[in-house]
Chain A
Amino acid sequence: MICFQVEKFADFVKDAMPLFPIHYSELALDQDKIKLSLDLTKYEKAEQDGYLHVVTARDDGRMVGYYTGAILPHLHYKDAGLMASTDMYFLLPESRRGMTGFRFVDFIEKSLIARGCRKIYISCKMHHDLQGFWEALGYRFTDKMFTKLLD
């Protein structure tokens, strides 16, 4: 049974370590030039400063997925309340069956609301297009992001 919970970064990261390379391999771009290298110190600092949000998915205790985001007032909508900028989210492929993805997002939303968030920003890769999934959950397709390697 997959369960979801808000966790401290330290508890999350020690069990999520085996998942990061799988996540990176499946979705990261420019893997020949940009290697996976989590800045654990900065994550810990973000938690100490109170704006890191970590939600995990565990199957009988085993880590099978996670969401991390930063909860902050928006730089140019500072009076609009807290907003969650998604850092990353992932479920192991074998844990994606049925309603797990929907349940996971539902839990994430509720956990963000509990922290006073009024808006969430989240994206997906063009090569793993989740537009239908997000729109079915009430999300609007509002932005297109462009990236370019400069070296």
Chain B
Amino acid sequence: MGQLVSGCQHRPQLHPSHRNRQQGRECGGDKPAGGPRRGRADRGSEHALREKLIALIESETGVANVTESTPIEALGVDSLDYISLIQTIRSDIGTVSIDKATSAQTVGDLMAAITA
């Protein structure tokens, strides 16, 4: 029969800020060049990273009051939206482990997948 129909995701209805950023960076600022790796970061910079990530997630998804314990499902994103979010994090914050990110249950898990 060949491929009757394919696809398991609809085209994501991204938050307007995400659509905007595809034309130019709007969220989260620039990735710091040559900054310390997260494992060696002091508490202050780690806190700043968390704040930056949560601000980015809230901006990209339109969900308010995101915390580390917020379930990924509560962000209202499907898999394709989530990939877009990961790409934004890569662009604005740092490296993301796809294996860890795609098995994340909470925003805290997603944070653990990031190396700034």
Residue numbers of A with Cβ under 8 A of B are: 23-24, 26-28, 36, 38-39, 42, 65, 86-91, 93, 96-102, 104, 122-125, 127-130, 132-133, 136-138
Contact = CB atoms under 8 A, between A and B. Distances in A.
Interface stretch (B6-14, B31-39, B40-48, B50-58): B6-14
A36 B36 CA distance: 57
Interface of B: 1-11, 71-73, 75-80, 82-84, 86-87, 98, 102-105
A28 B10 contact: no
B13 to A, nearest CB: 10
A32 to B, nearest CB: 15
Q: Which 4 A-B pairs have the closest CB atoms?
A: A101-B79, A98-B73, A96-B78, A27-B5
A28 B80 contact: no
Contacts of A42: 1
A122 B9 CA distance: 14
A26 B10 contact: yes
B3 to A, nearest CB: 6
A52 to B, nearest CB: 11
B78 A125 contact: no
30 contacts: A24-B4, A26-B10, A27-B5, A27-B6, A28-B5, A36-B4, A42-B1, A65-B8, A86-B6, A87-B1, A87-B3, A90-B8, A91-B8, A96-B10, A96-B78, A96-B79, A97-B73, A98-B82, A99-B79, A99-B103, A101-B79, A102-B103, A122-B6, A124-B7, A128-B6, A128-B11, A130-B7, A130-B80, A133-B80, A137-B102
